[in-house]
Structure 1
Amino acid sequence: MAMTAAVMSPWRSVSELRLCARMYVWAYALDDFTERDTTDLASLDEMLGRCRTIVHTGACDTSDPLLGALSGLHKELTRQPLYPALSALWTEKFDEGMRGLRYDWLAGHGRKGSAPPDNGVAEYLDHTESILVWITHLPRWMSHQDPGLLDRLDALIPALEDFSVTIRLANDLSTYAWEKDQQGQNNILMYGVSADWVQEQLDARIASGKRHLAPLLSEHFPPAVELIRCVEWSVTFYALADFRKPQEPHA
């Protein structure tokens, strides 16, 4: 997680990257909870609802390690230079991520064997923030020292929208081989589309994001460069590795 944070922003200091790395770890732990530890919808809704309460109200909740960690992270986020200006975007995208996780859980647990889910590809694509890219990337913007970032959100936001979908699709291509046989998983390749079609969508999203960022890249604006490094690192990682691939038993 620390390497991921550093690769995307190699010019930033350790103190600047620490919050980003901790958010990666938290998001991964929440994903563990939703995919591995939650067996019923009520417990999922309770956890996601408490997470939302922390982000919306700033209340501290130490009733669970995940909630305690989020409480500390959110408190630290509120101290960042651009948090006041980006707080509404933060809560909006946090909610979007929680909805995405819930959607994935429902779709995965409602799937009957190898039959395609009842919901369609368009609905799936509306919930790709289950990958939690916004939650893990926004701390970079909040901690940026140049308020000029706010004047460039009209390019940064649609680019990150494109790249969030890109990263989810790259993840799906990487994990389908084992997810297709595991109850509770949700993957776009379970919806009757081909890997070639998914790759076309992925490539189109990358191209769209780069078009949004082109003016900022021409001036070497650091947050735009970070977004390019984010999507390139993520897509390359998923092409070569998988955090969650079940381990083969030792002989």
Structure 2
Amino acid sequence: MNTYRSDDAMTLAAEQGRICALAAKGQRDLQRQAAAHPELFSARPFDPALYSSIAMAMAFSSPSCTAEELRFANRAVLWGFALDWQVDYLAKTRETVDRITADTLAVVDGTVPAVEDPLGRFLAELRDELARSPGYPAARAVWRDAVHRTLAAMAREWDWRESTAAGQPPSYEEYLDNADNLACTVVNVAHWIRTGDADVHRRLPELVAASDQVQQVLRLVNDLATHERDREWGDLNAITLVGDPAEVARRAADLTESCRKTLADLADRWPREATYLTRQLGYTSGFYGSTDFWGDR
């Protein structure tokens, strides 16, 4: 019996087309942002495919959002990439990393960034927009904590690169616990402040805990896809620490199963946010199966 149904196929394609349209709008906005901040995004890895990949990931993770809501989330992701580049590849001393950390937290706390601080100026734009959200006063501390955790994780990885070169790498457990350097949860927190209601804002710590689980899976999925690039760029990678890609894949699968249970429980109370995390996990896992966000170094 022929099970092909043209109406179902057309409906599915139309929905995918709508999501891709959200992504197209997002990509154009990200390219405008990059042009407005040339000091941050002139390096070769910030290619058009990176902007497209960011916009596509957010659109497929949260297709119920408007283009305006996704615009903010896309920009937050782009800022995370800029921060990563500044700490991982441009900072040559620990003093530089400490300065980036201090300057960034000062911006989160309301300081006007210096003219010579393009990373801070971009963050100040995000901060000011986020501050206009009704839930920001109550949720600001959660966002600040997420930013701080991301900065601390990136600084810790900077230290590990130095210690690994000296023959003292971190343990796998330490590495996985440092998954905030992926800058996933910090974006999710800002996105929920921007789009969530009062109940979501009150329960952000529980959502953050679920996001952290997803973030750990994405850390391993990323590492499985980027092992060769990480080795070329001198980055840490779970495969290097564990020694076996198959073992890292098994651990990622175990963590994914644990995430499924957490998100199923979360869906009873916050279905929109649980769906967002579920789609984020699924989309990013599929994406990293074939490519990476960064362009050529």
Alignment partner of 2:280 out of 207, 230, 245: 230
Matched, 1:211 2:261: yes
Question: What code does the residue aligned with 1:224 have?
Answer: A
Structure 1: distance between partners of 2:250 and 2:122: 38
CA gap of 1:6–1:112, structure 2 versus 1, over 3 A, is: same
Matched, 1:121 2:172: yes
Structure 1: distance between partners of 2:203 and 2:96: 40
TM-score, normalised by the number of residues in structure 1: 0.88
- Correspondence 1:163-178 to 2 at 5 A: 163-178=214-229
How far has the Cα of 1:200 moved from its partner? 2.2
How far has the Cα of 1:163 moved from its partner? 0.3
Question: What code does the residue aligned with 1:38 have?
Answer: A
**CA deviations over 1:98-157 (Å, ceiling 9, x no partner):** 0111111111233238x5x43212221221110000121112210224223246546523
Question: What code does the residue aligned with 1:142 have?
Answer: I
Question: What code does the residue aligned with 1:16 have?
Answer: E
Matched, 1:199 2:249: yes
- Correspondence 1:1-251 to 2 at 5 A: 1-55=54-108, 57-62=109-114, 63-112=116-165, 117-150=168-201, 153=204, 155-183=206-234, 185-217=235-267, 221-244=271-294, 246=296
CA gap of 1:112–1:216, structure 2 versus 1, over 3 A, is: closer
TM-score, normalised by the number of residues in structure 2: 0.75
How far has the Cα of 1:236 moved from its partner? 1.3
Structure 2: distance between partners of 1:245 and 1:109: 24
Structure 2: distance between partners of 1:4 and 1:99: 25
Unaligned ranges ≥5, structure 2: 1-53
Contact 1:163–1:231 at 8 Å: present in 2 too? yes
Question: What code does the residue aligned with 1:76 have?
Answer: E
Contact 2:55–2:74 at 8 Å: present in 1 too? yes
Structure 2: distance between partners of 1:151 and 1:135: 17
Contact 1:133–1:164 at 8 Å: present in 2 too? yes
| Number of residue pairs aligned between Structure 1 and Structure 2 | 243
Structure 1 stretch displaced more, 77-86 or 142-151: 142-151
Unaligned ranges ≥5, structure 1: none
How far has the Cα of 1:220 moved from its partner? 7.4
Contact 2:77–2:187 at 8 Å: present in 1 too? yes
Question: What code does the residue aligned with 2:112 have?
Answer: C
How far has the Cα of 1:86 moved from its partner? 2.1
CA gap of 1:36–1:151, structure 2 versus 1, over 3 A, is: closer
Q: Which protein has the larger Cα radius of gyration, Structure 1 or Structure 2? A: 2
Give SS of 2:216's match: helix
How far has the Cα of 1:70 moved from its partner? 0.6
